Structure 1
Amino acid sequence: MGTAPRSGSTKAWLAAAALCLASPAFPQSPSTQEKTTNPLHCDPGTGLCVVPGPEGAARTSAFKADAPQTKLLTLHYFTDPICSSCWGAEPQLRRLKLEYGALIDIQYHMGGLLPSWAGFNGGAINSPTDVAGHWDEVSPHYRMPIIGDVWLEDPLPSSFPPSIAFKAAQLQDPAKALVFLRRQREQVLTEKKNITKWPVIAEAAQFAGLDTVRLRSDFAGAAPSLFQADLTLARSLGVRGFPTFLFTNAAGERHVVHGARPYPHFGAAVQRLAPEAKAAAMPTTLEGLLAVHASWCAEEVAVVLGTTHAQAEELLRVSEGRGELAAVHTRNGSVWRRK
């Protein structure tokens, strides 16, 4: 478990974050010809949040694996902590892991969705206040709890600090880093917390069982280079939309799922590249799901158990009523967590 932040750590964290954002390695704002693309205006139709850049789909032909494939498939997942569409894809990703997780090496790459607010003009998103309404609008589409209040009350200047913090978490423990990322998403999307601030990041780290002192050290040390490597990989592949799921097999064949698509798209990607893949038996009860992950939303339960959203929500509310679950309730849905 991480230790509590020392006196003055918030100031030190902000200084480190500012240094990373000011680094020439990180793009600061879109170029003049790209300013009309707003990365925080995510399209529910495509299930993508798109960053500025040349038009075109992800170039799977440009991909070269750095290491031999150790599992039947490798999945390169391009995401961002503040990406509402990535949150919308959580139900599908959770089911994919439960059915095929033993056969897939899932590698997480940060996408750099919001370098800064400099240069945003035109389009539907011009300022943090515009994001607030947009998040509330997309929540019903994904059936996932999303509220935009953070953009009105304590807007984030960039998504780079929480992304770098995730890379720092990976240096400690890849499994705990995923718990950390999940907690980051819950904080910003449902609890209106600014996840660029050290106390908020420290809370997520402590929840995940990470050492916060080391996290802060790695944030200012090796993590920025790892984040830059993710950005470079995304650019080299032409990945601009998040989430992007790049599946590869040992033969070098590739398939891309763009955006928060229905689960059959993911199952089809696995079967296309690995016809011999057999889906594992999944939990069939809420208790079984809670043994795998500490927190669940109704749509996640519905997608995994194969029920309707309403049935899944009723299961969660009944369990909450019995005192088995705690919940964060928002106007657009809830997150339940085992006690």
Structure 2
Amino acid sequence: MHDNYCNNESNPSKETCCTKKPIELYVFIDPLCRNCWDFSASFKKFILEYGHYFSATFIPVSGYYTTKKLLEKNFNSLSFVWEKTARRSDILCDQDIWLDNKELYPYYSAIAIKAAELQGRHAGLNYLKKLQEYYFLMNKDITEKEVLIECAKEINIDVKEFIDDLNGPLSIKAFQCDLKITKEMLITEIPSVVFFSENIEEEGLKINGFESYQTYVKILQLMSKEKLTKRNLPDLLDYIKVNPFVTVNELCDVYEQSIQQIELYLKKMMLLRKVKKVIQNDTEFYQYIH
């Protein structure tokens, strides 16, 4: 089933999505969905502890959350988004029209993710993280071209190449391919994760919605058919270094420590001037001081 998604023809990326790791994950998210933002912390822990067993391809289903919320549709179906995007297929293919067409909100952000991803899977993931920070923490309009370019500058990718790809057909085609994959895999909730083993004859296992961390571990164990070896988490300060905005709750979830333990650690780091507190939208975040 999943081998169809590992060729360059169906996924117009500059790097192949095939991998030698035994498990392939397809992670379906909406950059504008708060639940997906919360899910990212749990998935970061999953990658840190078990990422040596799998590779992950992120599929931005932009518009699912916003469209459903605005139209008060049933959250158990993505059919409206598929049909709406299909009707706009001709517009999406005509880049000169959609670049200045606000009616296409919020697809622009998803297309920008694909433009970043053309510089590599890691670049695409970093861009997604930065886009969510701009949206949830800074109240930025991530459908504005200037904001999207600023995000590219922040993660130090080739900005000129990003702009060229943002204005080119490959990013749009990649986004349309993602929507096709979403429909073919019968994704009904966001976020969702589909697990595939290296045996292409086996069916994938799908987790619809945001489940507990142990659920993902159990599925990985089942798919890998071997005893999993968990990697040690990085030092807490190293984690903060590579995650620009972290909350106490996120650190508690990732490191499985109490609020009191995490707060005590952060106070020590603040006294040592290695960490600072930042307040955004009435929420406390902590940042590493470079």
- Measured in 1, the distance between the counterparts of 2:221 and 2:5 equals 24
1:264 corresponds to: 214
Q: Deviations over 1:144-183 (max 9, x none)?
A: xxxxxxxxxxx99722111111100011132122122111
2:286 corresponds to: 336
- Measured in 2, the distance between the counterparts of 1:120 and 1:278 equals 43
Q: Does the 8 Å contact 1:91/1:299 carry over to 2? A: no
Structure 1 residues 92 and 200: CA distance shift in structure 2, 3 A: same
1:236 corresponds to: 184
Alignment root-mean-square deviation, CA: 3.0
Match of 1:196 among 138, 143, 150: 143
Q: Deviations over 1:165-210 (max 9, x none)?
A: 1100011132122122111111111211111112222221111101
> Once the 2 structures are TM-superposed, how far is the Cα of residue 120 of structure 1 from its aligned partner?
4.3
- Measured in 2, the distance between the counterparts of 1:272 and 1:181 equals 29
Structure 1 residues 195 and 64: CA distance shift in structure 2, 3 A: same
**Is 1:322 equivalent to 2:272 in the alignment?**
yes
2:5 corresponds to: 66
Counterpart residue type for residue 5 of structure 2: D
Q: Does the 8 Å contact 1:187/1:193 carry over to 2? A: yes
> Once the 2 structures are TM-superposed, how far is the Cα of residue 308 of structure 1 from its aligned partner?
2.4
**Is 1:165 equivalent to 2:90 in the alignment?**
no
Identity of aligned residues (%): 20
- Measured in 1, the distance between the counterparts of 2:154 and 2:227 equals 34
Q: Deviations over 1:222-250 (max 9, x none)?
A: 10110010001101111131111001112
TM-score using structure 2 length:
0.75
Structure 1 residues 179 and 325: CA distance shift in structure 2, 3 A: farther
1:245 corresponds to: 193
1:286 corresponds to: 236
Structure 1 residues 281 and 331: CA distance shift in structure 2, 3 A: same
2:54 corresponds to: 104
2:247 corresponds to: 297
> Once the 2 structures are TM-superposed, how far is the Cα of residue 122 of structure 1 from its aligned partner?
4.6
Q: Does the 8 Å contact 2:131/2:142 carry over to 1? A: yes
Aligned length: 249
Structure 1 residues 108 and 162: CA distance shift in structure 2, 3 A: same
TM-score using structure 1 length:
0.65
- Measured in 1, the distance between the counterparts of 2:69 and 2:39 equals 29
Q: Deviations over 1:59-98 (max 9, x none)?
A: xxx6554336521100000112111111111121011101
**Is 1:85 equivalent to 2:24 in the alignment?**
no
- Measured in 2, the distance between the counterparts of 1:329 and 1:301 equals 17
